[in-house]
Amino acid sequence: MAELYVKPGNKERGWNDPPQFSYGLQTQTGGPKRTPLTKRVAAPQDGSPRVAASETSGPPPMGPPPPSSNAPRLLPVGSSPAHSVEPMGFPAFESEALIEDVLRPLEQALEDCRGHTRKQVCDDIGRRLALLQEQWTGGKLSTPVKKRMALLVQELSSHQWDAADDIHRSLMVDHVTEVSQWMVGVKRLIAEKRSMSSKKETNEEKSEAAVENRTIPSFQEAL
């Protein structure tokens, strides 16, 4: 779900700083490797320097490269360049996500938690949601952040805790500067909703079992 992209490194601060991979790319479990680069060539035993196949003497001729139709196929089978892939869009989110669509479910979730979670924690989360709103309406958040927050809220509403958590992590990794102040509140909200929901489930199981115990005798009685 997260975006897959590569950004260049910070050349001003680190010479030869490597490119930066998005969270989505870093957490991809590896598929088949393109070309495992682990082989070596033995030096010739008889001591002569290796003469390369295409030797040129003098400066290289400045003719063009071999055109596509003539050249042998050189791409390893099954490769696909992953350099600078654009963020994966979803058709439903072509238009910019709306603040209400994101904030309302979050505030609702917070309300749900108020009975079960310490007041201080709820207030803290509330403060951070207010900060989120302020930054959003103040135009301080980028489009990818807004997109992903909309996705996160969807997952949260569908009780997909792991997916919501993963999106929160991807936002912290890829956009920490924008989100760090308030994202920890969202993280906590997901955790509280998750723990509430599992408590609810165990209570439901218990009461279901109790109901069953009551109905069976009456069923037998009916017989």
Partner 1 sequence: MMATYLEFIQQNEERDGVRFSWNLWPSSRLEATRMVVPLACLLTPLKDRPDLPPVQYEPVFCSRPTCKAVLNPLCQVDYQAKLWACNFCFQRNQFPPSYAGISEVNQPAELMPQFSTIEYVVQRGPRSPLIFLYVVDTCLEEDDLQALKESLQMSLSLLPLEALVGLITFGRMVQVHELSCEGISKSYVFRGTKDLTAKQIQDMLGLSKPAMPMQQTRPAQPQEHPFVSSRFLQPIHKIDMTLTDLLGELQRDPWPVTQGKRPLRSTGVALSIAVGLLEGTFPNTGARIMLFTGGPPTQGPGLVVGDELKVPIRSWHDIEKDNARFMKKATKHYEMLANRAATNGHCIDIYACALDQTGLLEMKCCTNLTGGHMVMGDSFNTSLFKQTFQRIFSKDFNGDFRMAFGATLEVKTSRELKVSGAIGPCVSLNMKGPCVSENELGVGGTSQWKICGLDPTSTLGIYFEVVNQHNAPVPQGSRGAIQFVTQYQHSSTLKRIRVTTIARNWADVQSQLQLIEAAFDQEAAAVLMARLGVFRAESEEGPDVLRWLDRQLIRLCQKFGQYNKEDPTSFRLSDAFSLYPQFMFHLRRSPFLQVFNNSPDESSYYRHHFARQDLTQSLIMIQPILYSYSFHGPPEPVLLDSSSILADRILLMDTFFQIVIYLGETIAQWQKAGYQDMPEYENFKHLLQAPLDDAQEILQARFPMPRYVHTEHGGSQARFLLSKVNPSQTHNNLYAWGQETGAPILTDDVSLQVFMDHLKKLAVSSAC
Our CA angle for 187, 119, 190, nearest 5°, is 20
Q: State how far the Cα of 183 lies from the Cα of 18, in Å rounded to an integer.
A: 27
Q: Measured from the CB atom, is 34 or 87 closer to partner 1?
A: 34
Q: Identify the residue among 86, 91, 94, 120 touching partner 1 (CB under 8 A).
A: 120
CB within 8 A of 194, min separation 6: which ones? 161
Closest CB 10 distance from partner 1, rounded Å: 5
Q: Measured from the CB atom, is 25 or 130 closer to partner 1?
A: 25
Q: Measured from the CB atom, is 47 or 91 closer to partner 1?
A: 47
User: Is 223 in contact with 156 (CB distance < 8 Å)?
Assistant: no
Binding to partner 1 (CB under 8 A) within 146-205 occurs at: 168-169, 172-173, 176-177, 180-181, 183-185, 187-188, 191
Q: Which residues of 17-51 are buried (b: 16+ CB within 10 A; e: fewer)?
A: eeeebbbbbeeeeeeeeeeeeeeeeeeeeeeeeee
Is there binding between residue 119 and partner 1 (CB under 8 A)? Answer: no
Is there binding between residue 50 and partner 1 (CB under 8 A)? Answer: yes
Q: Which residue has the tokens 């490194």?
A: 9
Closest CB 55 distance from partner 1, rounded Å: 6
- Interface region with partner 1, contact rule CB under 8 A, candidates 69-77, 86-94, 132-140, 145-153: 69-77
Is there binding between residue 56 and partner 1 (CB under 8 A)? Answer: yes
User: Is 19 in contact with 8 (CB distance < 8 Å)?
Assistant: yes
